[in-house]
Structure 1
Amino acid sequence: MGLYHSTRSRDITCTAKQAIRRGIADDGGLFVSDALGDVTIDIETLADKGYHELAREVLAALLPDYTADEIAACVAEAYTGTFASTEVTPLVPLAKAPGADGAPTFVLELFDGPTSAFKDVALQMLPRLMARTGDAGTTDERIMIVTATSGDTGKAALAGFADAPGCGITVFYPEGKVSRVQNLQMSTQEGANVAVCGVRGNFDDAQSAVKRIFADRELAARLAEHGVMLSSANSINVGRLVPQVVYYFAAYAQLLRAGAIQAGDAVEFCVPTGNFGDILAGYYARRMGLPVSRLVVASDKNNVLFDFLTTGTYDRDRPFYTTTSPSMDILISSNLERLLYYAADGDCELVADLMERLANEGAYAVPDDMLARIREVFGCGWADEDEVAAAIRRCWDDNAYVIDPHTACGYHVLEQLPAAPGTAARVLLSTASPYKFPRAVAGALGLFCPPDDFACMDVLAKATGTTPPAQLAELQEKPVLHTDVVDIDAMSAYVENATSRL
C-alpha cells in the first residue's frame, strides 16, 4: 500500500501507523495512499470467510506496516465478544423490496456493537491500532484524542478509548442537537481519561474548531513539552475509515452464502451519510475489487451532498436544519476531500484550492469531467422529515422491520431511485438502533409516546415485539458525570486543560 500523504500535498508523507497516530496532516489535509487498489480481495473465496478473516485481509492490504500478528491481535480484541452477532454486521432480507423494480433488498445491521451505532465497528478497532503505533513516535508520548460528534461518534469513541493506556479522549457535541439517549450515552461515560463537553453551536462549528485545534502549532508545542500529542477519532483518521471497508466485503460474503448472488454479480449499496466516511469506505472496497454497481448517498434535509452530486457545486452557506437524524445534520462533509483527491487523479493542488475556497468563500465547484467521474460511481437522494416518518411506517407495514430515522432516509431513497443497471441485489446500511431515537420512531408508527424517552422505548418494544439493547435501556439508571458546556472559541482551552489529567 506504500506511504500515506496529505490530500493537499505530497510533501507531507508518513507510514500508515504515523497517519493513524497523527490523525490529520499538518496542512489540514487528510491522509491518502496512491496505492489504493493495488491489492485486491479475491471475490471467488469470499463466501468461505468470516468477519475476522475478512478484517485481517482488508486491514493488511490498507495498513501494510502493521505485522500480521499485530493485525490479528487488533481484530481479535475488537470483534471477540463485543458484538451481539457472530457476523458482527449481520445481513437481513426485507420481505418487500422498496422501489418499483423489485430488486431484492437487504439491510446490513451495523448497530450490534456496544453503543448501538455503526461507528462501533471502527471505534472498537481504532484504539487497538493506535496502541500499536509506538514505533511511530516516542514510546512515552501520550495521545489526547479530540473529537467532534454529531451524535454517535462521541459515545463509540468514548467506549473504545475510556481508560486506554497512554491515551485520553475529549469529545465535543452540539448542545441540544443530539437525542436524549445520545446525550446520556456520553454524559454518563466513566473513565479517568475522559472529558465530554457540549458546545454552543452546531456540529459543523464544533468540527471546524477541532480542525483549527489540530492546526494550532503553538498549542502543539505547549503540549509536546508535556509529552502529549493530539489525534482524532473522527473518520478524518484513516484508522477510522479502514475498518469500515471490511463490512462491505462481509455483506457480499453473506449474500453469496445465502445464494442471493453469484460471485462477480454487482451489488448496489445505499448509505445514509452526512460526513461521507461511511460511503467512502464503500468506494475503497470498490477500488479493492468488490463488484459495486453504484454507491447511493442518502441525505436528510441537510442535503448538501445531494446538491453537490447533482450540480458539481458544494455550497455550505445554506440553512442548517435540526432533524430526527442528528448524525447526518452536517453541512461540511469532511471525508468528501478524499474522494475529490481520487476523482482528480491525485491532483493535490486542485484539492488544496477547492478546500481553500470552501474555507474562505463557503463554496467550490468541481470541473465537469471530475463530476462525471464521480457520478459514474455515486447516486444520491434525500428525504425531508415527513418522508422519513413515512418511510419508517412503510418499512414496518411492509416488512415488520423497525428502522431508525437515519436508515429511513436510505429506505426512502431506495423507494425513489431505480436500481442501477446490472444490479443483482441492493443493500441498505442501517447505521443505528431505532431505540436510540425512540420518540421519532414511535411517533412515525402512530404510537402514543409518553414524554420520557425510556418509557417510549417500552411502548415501542411492546408494539413491535422487539427488545431495546440493554446498554440503552440501562442509561436512565446511570449518574450523569459530565455537564460542561463551552462556547466555540473556548474549545482549545478546554482541550489543553483536559490534557493536564494525562
Structure 2
Amino acid sequence: MELLYKSTRTSDITVTASEAVLKGLADDGGLFVPVEIPKLLTGLDALARMSYQETAYEVMKLFLTDYTEEELKHCINSAYDSKFDTEEIAPLAKADGAYYLELFHGSTIAFKDMALSILPHLMTTAAKKNQVDHEIVILTATSGDTGKAALAGFADVPGTKIIVFYPKDGVSPIQEKQMVTQKGDNTYVVGIHGNFDDAQNGVKAMFNDKALAALMDQAGYQFSSANSINIGRLVPQIVYYVYAYAKLFANGQITENEKINVVVPTGNFGNILAAYYAKQMGLPIDKLICASNENKVLFDFFMTGDYDRNREFVLTSSPSMDILISSNLERLIYKIAGADADKNRALMQELSTTGKYGITEEMRSELKDFYGNFATEEETAGVIRQIYEDTGYVIDPHTAVAAKVYKKYKADTHDETKAVIASTASPYKFTRSVMDAIDPKYDAMTDFELVDELEKISGVPVPQAIEDIRSAPVLHRDVCDADQMQNTVKNFLGIK
C-alpha cells in the first residue's frame, strides 16, 4: 500500500514519498508528514539478527513506498558503507548508568551523517523517478553539523549544487574548518553575520519566494533542502532507534517488549521527533526526554504550553542546539492538533508575526510522552568531567547536555527504566570545550594540540575527519549579512 504525504498547513494535497524528498518543503511553507505512521511489522527476534543496513530497509520501506526494493537497498548500501569507521554503524556504549548510542562514526563525526549519507541517493533517485530535468540546488542553513555532513554527501554529485549558510561566530573552530575546507566544484559555503535562526529564516524565505522560484526555473534550477525539514532526513533517523532497541534485546540488556527511555539533546527537534515516530510505529519507548541547553525554548514549551522565541540568544559550547525556532516541532504540533492543518497554520502564522504561540490544554495532554529539561554551561562542563573521571568515557557537550538532563529526570521521577542517550557528536569535534571541562590546564594548547591530548586520555584514535583538516587549505571565504543571502545565492548560480 502506498504511503502518501501532505503538508502540515494544507489538508487537501498529497504527494508521494519521492516527491516529498525532492521538494523538501511544501509549497505553502509547511512540512511534509505521512498521512499515517506505519506500524513496524518485523518481529523483534528477526530485528535482533539484522545488520544496520537490513534494519534500515525494514523501517524505510514502510515510509518510502514508491521506491522499489532495488532502489531503496541501493540507496541504503551506498550510504552505510566504509565511510563509517565501524561495521555496526551506530554502536552502543554503556557508561554512567545509561546506554550511549554513538551516532558519530560517519565521515563528518556527527549524527547528521546518519541521514545525510543517504539523502543524496534518495534525492537523485527521486529526481529520476519524477523525470526532473532541472539541476537541484540544495539550500541549507546549519548550526554546525548539518552543513558539513550535507556538503560531504552532495559534493560532486551530478545534477546537484549545494549552498550552506552558517553563523560566522556561532560554530566551533573544528566545525568551521570542516566546512570551509570542503572540496567539490558544486559546493558553496557562506558565513553570515547573525545566528542560526537568521540563517534558517533566510533559507525558508527563499523557499517561499515565488519570484525567485520563477527565476530559478528559467535558469534550469530548483531548490531542495538537506535540513531536517526534509522528510528524507527524518525517516533515516527513525532507523537507529529501532536498531538500538533490537541490539539491547540481542545482547540480553532488555527483555522482549521491555520499555526504554530515550534522551535526546535537542535543537531543531528532528532527532527526538524521529524517536517519537519510532514510538508511534510500536517501538516500546516510554519517555522521550528532551534535553536543551541555555537556549531553553523547548523546555519552557513543555513546562507551560507556550512557545516563545522572544528571548536572548545564547552562544553555548553545544552550538548545534543554539536554536530558538525549532522547525520540526511543527510536525508534532500538527499531530497533537489532531492533524488539523488550519489550526497548525494559524499557530505557525502567530509564531511568524509575534514570535510566540500557545497550545490548548487538550493539545498539552497529548505531550505526556515527553519530559523536558535543560543544562547550564556549568552543568554541561561538570558532567563531561564527572563521567570522564568516573568511567574514562569522554562525551561531547551536546551529549553532555543530554546526560545532565537525564540525571535531572531521574532525580525528579526516580524512574529507573533503562535509557538510551543519543550521543550526537564525537568529542573530537569540540575538543576545546571538552578538554577545558576535564581540566583547565589544557587552556593554553592549540586546537590540534588538544586533539592529540584527547587521544591520549580517551584511548580513542583521532578520527580521519580530523586528520583530513589539519593541513587542508581554506576554499570558502565568503561572508554576508543575513539580508544579502538571496543575492549571494543568485550570484553563485549566475541568476540576474
- Normalised-by-shorter TM-score class: over 0.9
Which residue of 380, 387, 391 maps to 1:388?
A: 380
Corresponding residue number in structure 2 for 1:333: 326
Residue pair 1:293, 1:421 contacting (<8 A) in 2 also: no
Which residue of 483, 489, 492 maps to 1:495?
A: 489
The whole-number CA distance in structure 2 between the counterparts of 1:465 and 1:73 is: 35
The whole-number CA distance in structure 2 between the counterparts of 1:392 and 1:43 is: 34
Residue pair 1:235, 1:277 contacting (<8 A) in 2 also: yes
The alpha-carbon distance between structure 1 residues 489 and 76, as it changes in their structure 2 partners (threshold 3 A), is: same
| Superposed CA offset, 1:373-394 (max 9, x none) | 11x2111111010000001011
| Superposed CA offset, 1:153-176 (max 9, x none) | 000000000000100000000011
| Superposed CA offset, 1:191-225 (max 9, x none) | 00000000110000110110000000011011111
The whole-number CA distance in structure 1 between the counterparts of 2:226 and 2:242 is: 23
The whole-number CA distance in structure 2 between the counterparts of 1:156 and 1:343 is: 31
Residue pair 2:181, 2:472 contacting (<8 A) in 1 also: yes
The whole-number CA distance in structure 1 between the counterparts of 2:14 and 2:486 is: 26
Equivalences, count = 492
Please give the root-mean-square deviation of Cα atoms over the aligned residues, in Å: 1.5
| Superposed CA offset, 1:238-296 (max 9, x none) | 00111000000110111011100011000101000100000000011111110001110
The whole-number CA distance in structure 2 between the counterparts of 1:258 and 1:47 is: 9
| Superposed CA offset, 1:61-119 (max 9, x none) | 0111111111100011000212111110000111x31xxxxxxx100000000000000
| Superposed CA offset, 1:6-65 (max 9, x none) | 001123321110111000011110000122135544334321111111101111001111
The whole-number CA distance in structure 2 between the counterparts of 1:497 and 1:358 is: 31
**TM-score (norm. length: structure 1):** 0.96
Residues 22-421 of structure 1: pairs in structure 2 closer than 5 A: 22-38=23-39, 40-94=41-95, 96-97=96-97, 105-135=98-128, 137-374=130-367, 376-418=368-410
Q: Which amino acid aligns with 2:31?
A: L
Residues 405-444 of structure 1: pairs in structure 2 closer than 5 A: 405-418=397-410, 424-444=417-437
The whole-number CA distance in structure 2 between the counterparts of 1:304 and 1:139 is: 39
Q: Secondary structure at the match of 1:168?
A: strand
The alpha-carbon distance between structure 1 residues 371 and 186, as it changes in their structure 2 partners (threshold 3 A), is: same
Identity in percent: 48
The whole-number CA distance in structure 2 between the counterparts of 1:359 and 1:407 is: 31
Q: Which amino acid aligns with 2:6?
A: H
Corresponding residue number in structure 1 for 2:479: 485
The alpha-carbon distance between structure 1 residues 61 and 286, as it changes in their structure 2 partners (threshold 3 A), is: same
Q: Which has the larger displacement, 455-464 or 64-73? A: 455-464
Task: Give the drift of 1:139.
Answer: 3.6
Q: Which amino acid aligns with 1:393?
A: R
The alpha-carbon distance between structure 1 residues 466 and 450, as it changes in their structure 2 partners (threshold 3 A), is: farther
The whole-number CA distance in structure 1 between the counterparts of 2:77 and 2:457 is: 37
Which residue of 437, 446, 451 maps to 1:452?
A: 446
Task: Give the drift of 1:451.
Answer: 4.3
1:470 aligned onto 2:464: yes
Q: Secondary structure at the match of 1:156?
A: helix
The whole-number CA distance in structure 2 between the counterparts of 1:2 and 1:92 is: 35
Q: Secondary structure at the match of 1:418?
A: helix
Q: Which amino acid aligns with 2:399?
A: T
Q: Which has the larger displacement, 135-144 or 71-80? A: 135-144
Q: Which amino acid aligns with 2:194?
A: G
1:6 aligned onto 2:4: no
Which residues of structure 2 form unaligned runs of 5+? Answer: none
Q: Secondary structure at the match of 2:395?
A: coil
Which residues of structure 1 form unaligned runs of 5+? Answer: 98-104
Task: Give the drift of 1:422.
Answer: 7.7
Residue pair 2:53, 2:77 contacting (<8 A) in 1 also: yes
The whole-number CA distance in structure 1 between the counterparts of 2:344 and 2:264 is: 24
The whole-number CA distance in structure 2 between the counterparts of 1:386 and 1:30 is: 36
The whole-number CA distance in structure 2 between the counterparts of 1:312 and 1:140 is: 45
